[in-house]
A and B are shown apart, each in its own frame.
Chain A
Amino acid sequence: MSIEVEGLGYTYMKKSPYEKRALDNVTFSIAEGDFLAIVGQTGSGKSTLLQHLNGLIKLTEGKVVVDDIDLTVRRPDYKRLRYLVGMVFQYPEYQLFDETVAKDVGFGCRNAGLSPEETAQRVREAIELVGLDYDDIAERSPFELSGGQKRRVAIAGVIAMRPKVLVLDEPTAGLDPKGRREIMDMVVRLHGTVCPTVIMVSHDMEAVAEYCNRVLVLSHGQLVYDLTPAELFAKGDLVRELGLDTPVSVRLADMLRAKGWDVPPVLTPKALADAIADILEGRV
């Protein structure tokens, strides 16, 4: 299970006064097991790139191959692709529509033509995977839930399709720190259990630093960097130049270093706390 992208380009509303080049000659590949972040400023082409990965935008330039599905052929198997690559949009709770949570989560399975028994089983599994209590929530209306619960239900709707790749567009947008942590813990859990590959667009550099093993940096539709979070945040000037935030722990470590402390490179608050404790207790 891998994803190959080669020379991918896209232009919105071609040949109209509103024409806009969104992607330009983007090449990279994703291996199974990757927890990949795509970062960049608003309008850098992140969402356009994501939508190419499961065929929501038709390929016009370049090459995309997901597993054994080649999108350059005349009529690719979009249906299978969409079940292989599960896509969670920004504010996914805005797509809920059915009478009950269970029915809404089962929408994707029903569209795949699965039997009611199979659907019911997958729905239960998916609701539990996103950390909700099936018996409590299954028969309630999705519209009476809290914001965080709604988002989990919407993500469960994608998980129930059992995708091998989970694609998330700003999964923590609009949540408070506690909600962000809960959702990210859930994504990590999914990555460890049912979805071996996770691709996430995020402005939340704390989450990128803490969870991802790889970062793609987009700028004006071009892929400018493909590196690890440690490499990215070690280049403070670059991060600022790209208009990205620096994680608090990285900033704090920099400040300590400026004061003469010998802090090793860290990415998470916990790692920083450990490093400081080591120094204070004279272990290094």
Chain B
Amino acid sequence: MKDVVFGQYYPASSGVHHMDARAKVLLMLAYVVLIFFVNSFVGYFAYMVFVLVATLVSKVPVRTMLRSIKGVFFLVLFISIINVFFSGLGEPMWKWWILSVSVESLLHAAKMALRILLLVLGPALLTYTTTPMELTDAIESLLSPLKLVRFPVRDVAVIMSIALRMVPTLMEETDRIMLAQKARGASLDTGNIFKRVKALIPILIPLFVGSFRRAEELALALDARCYNATPKRTRYRILRFTWRDLIAMLVFSVLLAFIVLGVIKRGGVLLYDFDGMIWDIIRSWVH
């Protein structure tokens, strides 16, 4: 039981934590889709404000949120570099072989980086504030229209929740087996790659044997409690759409309206060119 973090969930009591998980999932889907329509820095700024406010309301420490970015740091760096040198946009200020850098390419790279970061931050907030079980319930509820085409939504949801339920158990078991084999002198973190892979065998085999044992026991237990014998199952946690979810949706729809406003074109020209307006303001200041 060494430093096991169950998923990403950050336990706290906040408006975001208490939201209906379905509302959070829907909002997150909208958030992820909408971000691909953002074309201006002002739009990204609005997005950042949205994430920041949501984070502050959720009581998840900003530092914890930023930790979720760590995983994509190199991806962002890589994509930014590619975009700076290969975008081929605008008047090159610097050119060498097939590489060129322009003001436009720099701005474009910055936008791409922002897009990826925001793409990671939003869903991270969802997993920080929603337990895996709530997420499964939400997905089950949102997929329930598929029952009409005889898709076994309930069984899929049960499979998902069992899988999630077993993650900490398996982590704990892995930990215990690792300790047991270490106690027998196994060294897991020394030697070359082949040695290390070979050192995994004494851990993986007991883990698999244990998983099969558990699966069998669980199947028996489900059977013994007449799983699937009743047509309708009631549930312990009931998702409820409340005023919190309404507020969150309203706030998001402001963002939505703003972003949509930013992409409307009339006669091939942006109706509201937010970035252009900002440029104008800066220019008038400079002069």
Taking beta carbons and an 8 Å cutoff, which residues of A are in contact with B?
Answer: 12-13, 16-18, 51, 54, 56-57, 79, 82-83, 86-87, 89, 92, 94-98, 107-108, 111-112, 143, 157-158, 161
Tell me the minimal C-beta distance from A1 to chain B in angstroms: 18
CB pair A54 B183 closer than 8 Å: yes
Q: Is B201 positioned at the interface, with any CB of A under 8 Å from its CB?
A: yes
Alpha-carbon distance between A12 and B173 when the two chains are bound, in angstroms: 17
Residues of chain B contacted by A112 (CB below 8 angstroms): 185
Q: Is B253 positioned at the interface, with any CB of A under 8 Å from its CB?
A: no
| A94-B177 contact given A18-B5, A107-B202, CB 8 Å threshold | yes
Residues of chain B contacted by A57 (CB below 8 angstroms): 2
The digit string for B11-33, where 1 denotes a CB below 8 A from any CB of A, is 11000000000000000000000
Tell me the minimal C-beta distance from B155 to chain A in angstroms: 29
The residue in B4, B177, B181, B201 that gathers the most chain A C-beta atoms within 10 A of its C-beta is B181
CB pair A89 B176 closer than 8 Å: yes
Tell me the minimal C-beta distance from B246 to chain A in angstroms: 29
Output the nearest chain A residue to B1 by Cβ-Cβ distance: A12
Listed A/B pairs (16) with beta-carbon separation below 8 Å:
A12-B3, A13-B5, A18-B5, A51-B179, A79-B185, A79-B187, A89-B176, A89-B180, A89-B183, A94-B176, A95-B180, A95-B206, A97-B206, A97-B209, A107-B185, A111-B186
CB pair A143 B209 closer than 8 Å: yes
**Majority DSSP secondary structure for residues of A touching B:** mixed
Partner of A157, one of B173, B184, B206, B209: B184
Residues of chain A contacted by B2 (CB below 8 angstroms): 12, 57
Residues of chain B contacted by A89 (CB below 8 angstroms): 176, 179-180, 183
Q: Is B145 positioned at the interface, with any CB of A under 8 Å from its CB?
A: no
Alpha-carbon distance between A279 and B2 when the two chains are bound, in angstroms: 55
CB pair A95 B177 closer than 8 Å: yes
CB pair B1 A94 closer than 8 Å: no
Alpha-carbon distance between A82 and B203 when the two chains are bound, in angstroms: 18
**Majority DSSP secondary structure for residues of B touching A:** helix
Interface size, B (range): 20 to 34
Output the nearest chain A residue to B9 by Cβ-Cβ distance: A17
Output the nearest chain A residue to B179 by Cβ-Cβ distance: A56
Output the nearest chain A residue to B186 by Cβ-Cβ distance: A111
Taking beta carbons and an 8 Å cutoff, which residues of B are in contact with A?
Answer: 1-5, 10-12, 173, 176-177, 179-187, 201-203, 205-206, 209-210
Alpha-carbon distance between A108 and B181 when the two chains are bound, in angstroms: 8
Partner of A13, one of B3, B176, B210: B3
CB pair A95 B1 closer than 8 Å: no
Residues of chain A contacted by B10 (CB below 8 angstroms): 17
Alpha-carbon distance between A161 and B11 when the two chains are bound, in angstroms: 44
CB pair B181 A95 closer than 8 Å: yes
Alpha-carbon distance between A112 and B185 when the two chains are bound, in angstroms: 7
Residues of chain A contacted by B206 (CB below 8 angstroms): 94-97
Alpha-carbon distance between A57 and B202 when the two chains are bound, in angstroms: 20
Residues of chain A contacted by B187 (CB below 8 angstroms): 79, 111
CB pair A158 B179 closer than 8 Å: no
Output the nearest chain B residue to A109 by Cβ-Cβ distance: B185
Alpha-carbon distance between A231 and B27 when the two chains are bound, in angstroms: 64
Alpha-carbon distance between A174 and B209 when the two chains are bound, in angstroms: 18
| A16-B185 contact given A56-B179, A89-B180, A97-B201, CB 8 Å threshold | no
| A107-B186 contact given A17-B10, A95-B206, A97-B206, CB 8 Å threshold | yes
Residues of chain A contacted by B11 (CB below 8 angstroms): 17
| A108-B180 contact given A13-B3, A16-B5, A97-B202, CB 8 Å threshold | no
CB pair B183 A86 closer than 8 Å: yes
Tell me the minimal C-beta distance from B182 to chain A in angstroms: 6
Tell me the minimal C-beta distance from A94 to chain B in angstroms: 6
| A82-B182 contact given A12-B2, A89-B176, A111-B187, CB 8 Å threshold | yes
